[in-house]
Amino acid sequence: MERIPILKVGECLLVTIQVDMHDQLAMALEEDLTSKIVSTGARGVLIDISSLEIVDSFIGRMLNNIASVSRILDADTVVTGMRPAVAITLVELGLSLPGVKTALNVDRGLAMIDASRRDGVDMAETDDDDGAGTADLDDADRRG
């Protein structure tokens, strides 16, 4: 069965999704990631979707599920590399992805996780008032 690689980068896990997701692959990723968070003690999960040109409601739900499971296991989740068309599609589908933070690239995502851990801030508590689940990248840059 096909698997998505999970790399350890410092205290974070990096997942780069470069293939079309289907139900079995998404469930395998969630299981693999959960096990890896526990076995490595990872404090953050970066999911790079820069290779994806299209994201549907299934991918949106999968990202939200991964963020929820990671949060329960005390790891922050940041989705990186989202293309403008993907962001527009998610909004049009009505998927605000609460609890899922975003960053333009992996470097900024790492900085967000490092800053939140260093400052003792739970990234889930920093949601904007509109519930969009986005983070203020400028704050992460100033702290990092």
Residue 116 covered by a domain: yes
List, for residues 16-50, the tens digit of each pLDDT value.
998 888 888 988 999 999 999 999 999 999 999 99
Choose among 24, 28, 21: nearest CA to 6.
Answer: 28
The pLDDT score that the predictor gives to residue 123 is 52
Task: Tell me the pLDDT tens digit for each residue of 62-89.
Answer: 888 999 999 999 999 999 999 999 889 8
CATH number at residue 104: 3.30.750.24
In the chain, how many domains are there?
1
Residue 54 domain flag: yes
Is 25 among the domain residues?
A: yes
| b/e per residue 97-117 (b: at least 16 CB within 10 A) | bebbbbbeebebbbbbbbbbb
Whether residue 22 lies inside any domain: the answer is yes
Q: What percent of the chain shows pLDDT beyond 90?
A: 47
With respect to residue 115, please indicate whether it lies within any of the assigned structural domains: yes
| Residue 1 falls inside a structural domain | no
Domain assignment present for 129: yes
Range of the domain at 78: 6-143
Give the residue among 22, 23, 25, 6 at the shortest CA–CA distance from 14. 6
Q: Residue 73 falls within a domain, yes or no? A: yes
- Nearest-CA neighbor of 103 among 68, 66, 140? 140
